[in-house]
Structures are given as C-alpha cells and as structure tokens.
Amino acid sequence: SYHGDNLEGAVGPALTNTEHTAEEIAQIAVNGIEEDGQQKMPPSWEGSEEDLQVLAEFIDGLSE
C-alpha cells in the first residue's frame, strides 16, 4: 500500500508516530499537502465527516 503494509511508510510517509494532530490529519485528507508549489498528496477524502473523524483519531492514536 501507499503508506506500507503496516503503515510504516513506503511511497508515502509512515502513519505511525506522526507529529500531526487528529484535526491536522483530517485537514490533510480533505485538502492534500502542497509543498514548495508541488502537490505532495492530492486531496482525496470522499467519505462522511463522521468517518473522517474516526480515521483521523485512529491515525493519531497510532502515535501514542
């Protein structure tokens, strides 16, 4: 997978031990990431707001 089979990072960054808050993770999923004028991650979220919050809190919890 893009973030690795165990979310350890592969093509995309690791999702474990991220420095982002759940709110930031949700915003990244909705808006993507642009750095130096380059799209690092496209906006991709198409689910519900509730599912987005569950996902963001799950990823945030991987850092605890």
Q: If pLDDT is split at 50, 70 and 90, which confidence band does 41 have?
A: confident
**Residue 14: which H helix or E strand, with range?**
none
Whole-angstrom distance, CA of residue 51 vs CA of residue 64 = 21
Quote the percentage of the chain above a pLDDT of 70.
Answer: 98
Question: Are 21 and 57 a contacting pair, CB within 8 Å?
Answer: no
pLDDT of amino acid 58: 95
Give residue-wise pLDDT tens across range 13-26: 888 988 999 999 99
Name residue 2's amino acid. Y
Query: How much is the mean pLDDT over the chain?
Result: 91
**Tokens representing 41?**
């991650």
Mean pLDDT of 32-42: 90
Domain boundaries, the chain: 1-64
pLDDT of amino acid 20: 93
- Assign domain 1-64 one CATH number from 1.10.760.10, 3.40.50.300, 3.30.1490.120, 3.40.640.10: 1.10.760.10
